[in-house]
Structure formats: structure tokens, C-alpha cells
Amino acid sequence: MLKELNHVIDYIEDHLTDDLSFKTISEYAGVSDYHFRKIFFYLSGLTLSEYIKNRRLSEASMDLLHGERITDVALKYGYQSIDGFTRAFKKWSGFLPSDIIKKGISKSFPKLSFIITVKGGNTMEFRIVDKPAFNLVGVSKRVPMQFEGVNNEIVKLAESITEKQKEEMRSLQNIEPYEIVNASYEADANFLKEEGDLTHLIGVLTTENQLSDLLEKVPVDAYTWAIFPNEGPFPSTLQETMAKVYSEWIPSSNYEVINVPAFSFTKMDKDKGDYAYSEVWISVQKK
């Protein structure tokens, strides 16, 4: 995965002045667009769109420093107007483009390179299981893509579930894990949007195919799954585990993620406040 990530960085570098194709980028990465954006974010601390914007503006700064005209530089890096370029450049650097030309000052944002650094002797608990085909059934909606913090739209979705929907989910649930799960899939393909959407489903796993129109069904074929248990304060421990899965385990393992809805579940400990047990389930295949 690290090799693929660095190939993606090289591809972006070679096409900073082009209309970048996410289809090509995701092919370089070898995983689905959503999983790739997660891996990129947890490794770099930036969204992919932020990284590309920063690299373009950094190169624009160097071009201005070398005497190129503001109008030419703006068009070169995809801005439709000088005003739009000037606002973006000022927000990024703190300087006006004209300051670069007149005063010879500049700001840079270097190209990323991904490496894995082994820290301490920390281990990450996981197990690998083969699972037959099943259906995710539940209630879903399009929500903003968000890798950290509480997603208020998901909270609203959970609050909207009726007693009849809960009752039907309980009656259909017949395959592990026997828990209410949160699944995400169908992320927006346009990665250059600062805030894309994805579909989030709250529901259960079942092998049943017959259900009422109160619930939605997402078929999932038979796959191998990597399962990551974790315990601690919720939601921070779950989010930290998710970050480690994408930033440490996947790049250094013999597995790669495949384009199947990932899901998780959480069991709160009523006697310990915000303490909870959670599991993250991600479908994988050997490289």
C-alpha cells in the first residue's frame, strides 16, 4: 500500500496543472475511493483535496517568484479568475500574489512521501474471519463525509428510527455480529469537493431476503473480514482504532481493502459512563 500511495503522490505531482481524474488516482491506489481517502487522511492529516490545493498554490508561489504573470499562473492552476486565485492564495500563504513578485517573499508546501515508522512495541489486536454472503438491512441516509468528531447527521438518523423499524431489525438479525451496526458506503466520487457525502446505514446483518418497505437492504457477498476490537472512552477510542487501521495496519499488513461497506458496532458500559466496547469490521483480501 505504501508503494501505491507514493505512486499516487507522483501522479498528482505530474498532473498539478491538469484536471485530475479521480478514476486514475483510485486505480493507482488499488482501493475504493472512500477507503483511499481514509488512508490518505489518517496518514497525512490532510484531506486529498487539501493536499492538492496546497501543492498547487505552493507551485504557483514558486512560479510567481520566478517572474510569471499572475493571470497566467491563476489559469495554469485551474482558477477561473484572478480574484478567485488571489483570495485562495492569500488565505493559504498570508500574502497577496503581488507581494511575491514585488518583495520576493514566498511560502512552500513540499511534496509528501509516505513511510512507516515502527513505534515502541505496540501491538494491535485483530482477527481474520471468512464470512458467508449476507444483507445489511436498516435505515439509511446521505450524510456529510467526516472522519473525526461527532457527525450530527448520523445522530439525527439514529434518532429517526421508529419502534416498528427496530422491531423488524431485531426479527431479521440472524448472523454475527448480533449487534446494531453502523455502515458507510457509496461515497461521492468527486474527491475535489471539500465536503462530499456518503450513505450511512444503521441496521443489522441478516441472511434473510424478505423485508418490509420500512427497511432498506444492501447485499454483501462472501468475503474475508479483518476485525479490530477496542475498549475505552467513546467515541475517541473507536476513532483512534479506525485511524490506526488505515494508517498503520493496512499499509504494513499482507492485506488490502476491497470495495465493500465497512461497519462497526459499539456496546456502552452503563456502569462506566462513556466507556464502551467496539469492533471495526473491514473486508480484505491477501495481496
In a domain, 120, yes or no: no
Do 138 and 278 lie in a common domain?
Answer: yes
Distance CA 150, CA 148 (A): 7
| 126-184 pLDDT, tens digit each | 889 999 999 999 999 998 877 666 788 999 999 999 999 999 999 999 999 999 999 98
Do 53 and 159 lie in a common domain?
Answer: no
Do 11 and 64 lie in a common domain?
Answer: yes
Q: Residue 58 — pLDDT band, cuts 50, 70, 90?
A: very high
Domain with 62 in it: 2-103
Q: Which of 87, 103, 119 is the last residue of a domain?
A: 103
Q: Are 175 and 134 in contact (CB under 8 A)?
A: yes
Return the pLDDT at 121: 45
Do 131 and 250 lie in a common domain?
Answer: yes
CATH number of the domain that residue 72 is part of? 1.10.10.60
Distance CA 287, CA 109 (A): 33
What is the phi/psi pair of residue 25, to 5°?
A: -60, -45
Beta bridge partners of 184: 200, 262
CATH number of the domain that residue 188 is part of? 3.20.80.10
Do 232 and 179 lie in a common domain?
Answer: yes
Do 66 and 167 lie in a common domain?
Answer: no
Q: Residue 33: CA atoms inside 13 Å, Cβ hemisphere, count?
A: 20
Say how many domains are in the chain: 2
Classify 176 as helix, strand or coil: coil
Cell of 46: 490532510
**pTM (global) more than 0.85:** no
Do 65 and 137 lie in a common domain?
Answer: no
What is the phi/psi pair of residue 178, to 5°?
A: -85, 65
In a domain, 275, yes or no: yes
245 has a pLDDT exceeding 80: yes
Do 98 and 132 lie in a common domain?
Answer: no
Do 276 and 136 lie in a common domain?
Answer: yes
